[in-house]
């Protein structure tokens, strides 16, 4: 789809703020939303707001919606069945819930591996569960040069006592993508489970949980152009085998046994619309299976995002007073998302984001809950980093404006 036509689908991108078009480079913190998602959510709330199990039309509509949402996510993740898709308030809440269930049988001799690359939703949940059981937690470091995981250390940490590896698919701070398939293969050799945080990865590349062979994978719809809905995929044997904390009257069948309380059905309407939006970015007819359309769509957006990364990294080389954390090699663009962690010589991260914010350029500063990463990089006590994050709706022209602002920032009186 032509980029101008694509951008017109997003109300946020078409607005004027004090006579200026805002530039959204805050995608890693939450993407903007197309009109089709807004309309789907509004239509559900306006005409069908109900709950499950009623003998009337709006409840029947809600039952169908829940099934449609599970199937849409199963298509997005290539899950074997929609029964393996669990919904919740957000990825963090779901991960804490799963950590409690998975850790029920852990013992003091058991070991858990978390990583310095992860958002702490995929760290604190497991650390606290391990602490309750007296189990040992190891933190896997990243390679300083490119912020990918240190696989040599990983191999040393793995042993027969390892019960679970919690790992991110891509860093929400530096954009570095990890070799999850290899990480899963090594973990399974010692009998460990793998819980993958794909929140940052999901809007940038198509996920295939069957190819990864991961035990669990979590993501959030608000990162891939939808509303605030958390998602967890799990292998059937795990969803059926582990015992979740649940209210007693609730049915004890998957996936509902993992879903506490009433779901955000309007949010699920938005999830379906968001995935259908992504599928629409292919040139294939709507009669083509959704997974096939998603595959072509993500291939298209990946090429555009790599072009954004190439431009960004090329221009960044003109600024010796800006330090990049993560992959900078232009031959490795496929190994990163267009998310960039920066520090500015002599300028605090918050001062940079405020300077850009006054010009209606939306960027984040801080540690983004990637506390282990920022501690290892030595920026935790310095305000963290400035994070520039592109999505497929961003443009080279927007990045040109950003770099002009960088020049002005260093030339301030």
Q: What is the DSSP string of 304-318?
A: HHHHHHHHHHHHHTT
For residues 366 and 402, state if they share a domain.
yes
**CATH code assigned at 308:** 3.90.1150.10
Residue 413 clears pLDDT 80, i.e. is over it: no
**Percent residues over pLDDT 70 in the chain:** 100
Domain residues for the domain of 115 are 39-277
Q: Give tens-digit pLDDT for 64-100.
A: 999 999 999 999 999 999 999 999 999 999 999 999 9
Q: Which residues pair with 24 in a beta bridge?
A: 362
Q: Give tens-digit pLDDT for 117-174.
A: 999 999 999 999 999 999 999 999 999 999 999 999 999 999 999 999 999 999 999 9
Length of the chain: 413
Cβ atoms of residues 70 and 85 within 8 Å: yes
Cα separation, 116 vs 119, in Å, equals 8
Cα separation, 73 vs 102, in Å, equals 23
In a domain, 284, yes or no: no
End position of a domain, from candidates 224, 254, 277: 277
For residues 20 and 107, state if they share a domain.
no
Based on C-alpha coordinates, what's the Rg of the chain? 21
pLDDT at 155: 98
Q: Give tens-digit pLDDT for 191-229.
A: 999 999 999 999 999 999 999 999 999 999 999 999 999
Among the listed residues 32, 30, 26, the one whose alpha carbon sits nearest the alpha carbon of residue 7: 32
In a domain, 285, yes or no: no
Dihedral, CA atoms, 405, 410, 411, 412, nearest 10 degrees?
90
For residues 383 and 258, state if they share a domain.
no
Cα separation, 81 vs 250, in Å, equals 21
| pLDDT band with cut points at 50, 70 and 90 for residue 411 | confident
For residues 272 and 298, state if they share a domain.
no
Instruction: Say how many domains are in the chain.
Output: 2
Residue 306 is encoded by which pair of tokens? 């790599």
In a domain, 371, yes or no: yes
Q: Give tens-digit pLDDT for 267-294.
A: 999 999 999 999 999 999 999 999 999 9
For residues 13 and 89, state if they share a domain.
no
For residues 245 and 128, state if they share a domain.
yes
Rounded average pLDDT over 40-69: 98
């Amino acid at each position: 789809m032509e980029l101008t036509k694509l951008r017109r689908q997003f109300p946020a991108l078409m607005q004027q703020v004090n006579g200026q078009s805002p530039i959204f480079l805050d995608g890693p913190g939450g993407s903007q939303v197309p009109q089709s998602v807004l309309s789907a959510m509004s239509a559900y709330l306006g005409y069908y707001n109900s709950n499950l199990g009623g003998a009337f039309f709006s409840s029947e509509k809600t039952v169908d919606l829940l099934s449609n949402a599970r199937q849409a996510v199963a298509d997005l993740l290539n899950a074997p069945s929609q029964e393996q898709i669990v919904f919740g308030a957000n990825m963090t809440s779901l991960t804490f819930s799963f950590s409690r269930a998975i850790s029920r049988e852990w013992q003091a001799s058991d070991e858990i591996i978390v990583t310095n690359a992860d958002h702490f939703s995929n760290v604190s949940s497991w650390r606290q569960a391990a602490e309750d059981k007296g189990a040992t937690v190891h933190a896997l470091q990243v390679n300083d040069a490119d912020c990918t995981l240190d696989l040599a250390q990983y191999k040393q940490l793995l042993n027969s006592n390892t019960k679970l590896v919690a790992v991110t698919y891509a860093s929400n701070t530096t954009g570095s993508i990890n070799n999850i398939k290899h990480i899963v293969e090594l973990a399974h050799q010692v009998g460990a489970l793998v819980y993958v945080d794909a929140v940052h990865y999901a809007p940038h590349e198509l996920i295939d949980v069957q190819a990864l062979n991961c035990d669990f994978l979590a993501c959030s719809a608000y990162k891939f152009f939808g509303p605030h809905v958390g998602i967890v995929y799990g292998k059937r044997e795990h969803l059926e085998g582990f015992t979740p904390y649940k209210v007693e009257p609730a049915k004890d069948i998957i996936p509902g046994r993992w879903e506490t309380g009433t779901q955000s059905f309007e949010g699920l309407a938005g999830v379906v619309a968001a995935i259908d939006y992504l599928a629409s970015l292919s040139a294939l007819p709507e009669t083509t299976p959704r997974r096939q359309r998603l595959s072509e769509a993500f291939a298209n957006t990946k090429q555009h995002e790599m072009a954004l990364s190439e431009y960004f990294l090329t221009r960044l080389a003109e600024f010796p007073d800006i330090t990049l954390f993560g992959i900078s090699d232009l031959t490795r663009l496929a190994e990163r998302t267009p998310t960039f962690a920066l520090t500015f010589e002599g300028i605090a991260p918050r001062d940079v984001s405020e300077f850009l914010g006054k010009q209606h350029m939306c960027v984040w500063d801080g540690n983004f809950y990637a506390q282990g990463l920022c501690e290892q990089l030595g920026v935790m006590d310095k305000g963290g980093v400035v994070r520039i994050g592109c999505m497929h709706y961003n443009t080279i022209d927007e990045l040109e404006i950003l770099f002009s602002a960088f020049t002005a920032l260093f030339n301030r009186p």
